Amino acid sequence: MKAAVVNDLKEAPKVSVIETPKPAANEQTVHVLAAAVYPRVRSQANGTHYTSTGELPFVPGLDGVGQTETGQTGYFITSNAKYGALAEQTVIDHHRFIPLGNDIDAARVAAGMNPAMSAWMSIKVRVGDLTGKKVMILGATGAAGQMAVQISRYLGASEVIGVGRNQTKLTALSELGTTQTISLRDDQESLRAAFTAAADVDVVLDYLWGTVASTAMKVMLPARRNHSQQLLWIEIGSMSGADMVLPSAALRSVNLNLVGSGQGSINARQYLAELPELAQLISAGQFKIASTTMPLTELNETNWNDVTKRVVYTMD
């Protein structure tokens, strides 16, 4: 079979013909239709991610859309360290395949599912009904943050406040649904004033954590007009740092519900229940994401390293 193969961690994968993997007892074969490349996949391929073993060669790729041997189309997440998604076939754990309709747009779903999943599951599982609620998104300019803006509006948020550093992307967020933006490049006085003005949000989707979350909490919590009104703060990512300092009084004086959302805290049954609807919406073009699609055979160093958009490789 054809596959993108990493033979040298310092070079982009090269398309090669390799032996087709055979599934173990707990695995199933998936015929890949489309798989995307994004920063986490590149860090897997160049060995810089903390999960890397350095063992070569291997096929990179963390997720995609494919078909089982019985012809069922679905979204899958890889589980085999040697055989990833960027190949004509891969093998995955039985529990990492989510059945979808066979009319799905494989390339769109491959491009959008990973960045959209975190916000969708956070809202569906942690929030429930978002109708009429005010949402703040820390890290709104990244791919996941931009999806979070669109998903929040789609699910009924009355206001969406986007927080980020890239001013060009912040300005463009209004086209995706933000009602207000806060620039982390502002001076400290302006930033504190902006967080104070936005203190009465109902939900925070936090892709940053670290010093940004600490600053926002310390300013927003005492500034809330009704301290008994719940603020649901959902920790999703840690682009601004893995640790955050929060005074203990913040948890006693304000109704702050601080929770995490991720694969470890949401069970497989919930993913199976919620993700098919998301996939259908992505397939129908409900949410925008910058992406380009090309056959796997056209993979080269230039398009592999294109960070301006998600690159989706198909196995046509």
> What number of CA atoms fall less than 13 Å from residue 111's CA on the CB side?
24
Domain CATH code at residue 301:
3.90.180.10
CA distance 5 to 28: 21
Any domain includes 268: no
**Which has the closest alpha carbon to 148: 242, 236, 260?**
236
Domain CATH code at residue 175:
3.40.50.720
Whether 132 and 247 share a structural domain: yes
Number of domains forming the structure of the chain: 2
Any domain includes 228: yes
Quickly count: other Cβ atoms within 10 Å of residue 243's Cβ: 9
Q: Is the pLDDT of residue 263 over 80?
A: no
The answer to whether the beta carbons of residues 161 and 136 sit under 8 Å apart is yes
Question: Whole-model pTM?
Answer: 0.91
Whether 145 and 95 share a structural domain: no
As a whole number, mean pLDDT of residues 240-267 equals 87
**Which has the closest alpha carbon to 115: 315, 314, 290?**
290
Sign of CA dihedral 93, 120, 290, 171: negative
Whether 12 and 132 share a structural domain: no
Any domain includes 26: yes
Whether 54 and 30 share a structural domain: yes
Any domain includes 277: no
Any domain includes 273: no
Whether 122 and 240 share a structural domain: yes
pLDDT tier at 194, thresholds 50, 70, 90: very high
51 vs 270, higher pLDDT: 270
Domain that residue 54 falls in: 2-105+285-314
**Which has the closest alpha carbon to 145: 135, 131, 156, 155?**
135
Any domain includes 280: no
- What is the per-residue pLDDT across 124-168, written as a single tens digit (0 to 9) for each? 999 999 999 999 999 999 999 999 999 999 999 999 999 999 999
State which of 245, 260, 275 marks the end of a domain. Answer: 260
Q: Which helix (H) or strand (E) holds 67?
A: strand 63-68
Whether 229 and 168 share a structural domain: yes
The whole-number pLDDT of residue 52 equals: 83
CA distance 32 to 30: 6
Whether 206 and 148 share a structural domain: yes
- Tell me how far apart the terminal alpha carbons of the chain are, to the nearest angstrom: 12
The whole-number pLDDT of residue 272 equals: 86
Whether 62 and 122 share a structural domain: no
**Which has the closest alpha carbon to 150: 128, 123, 185?**
123
CA distance 221 to 139: 19
Peptide bond between residue 57 and the one before it cis (omega within 30 degrees of 0): yes
Whether 169 and 305 share a structural domain: no
Q: Is the pLDDT of residue 262 over 90?
A: no
Whether 120 and 251 share a structural domain: yes
Whether 21 and 82 share a structural domain: yes
Say what the alpha-carbon torsion angle 66, 71, 74, 80 is, to the nearest 10 degrees.
Answer: -50
As a whole number, mean pLDDT of residues 268-289 equals 93
CA distance 65 to 86: 11
The whole-number pLDDT of residue 268 equals: 81
Question: What's the Cα-to-Cα distance from 306 to each of 12, 39, 278, rounded to whole Å?
Answer: 12, 10, 26
The answer to whether the beta carbons of residues 199 and 227 sit under 8 Å apart is no
DSSP β-bridge partners for residue 66: 32, 74
DSSP β-bridge partners for residue 65: 34, 75
The answer to whether the beta carbons of residues 112 and 289 sit under 8 Å apart is yes
Q: Is the pLDDT of residue 75 over 90?
A: yes
3-state SS assignment for residue 27: strand
Mean pLDDT across the chain, nearest whole number? 94
Tokens of 252: 């006693």
Quickly count: other Cβ atoms within 10 Å of residue 229's Cβ: 11
Any domain includes 265: no
Q: Is 41 exposed, middle or buried (0-12, 13-18, 19+ CB in 10 A)?
A: buried
Whether 176 and 197 share a structural domain: yes
Any domain includes 130: yes
DSSP 19: P
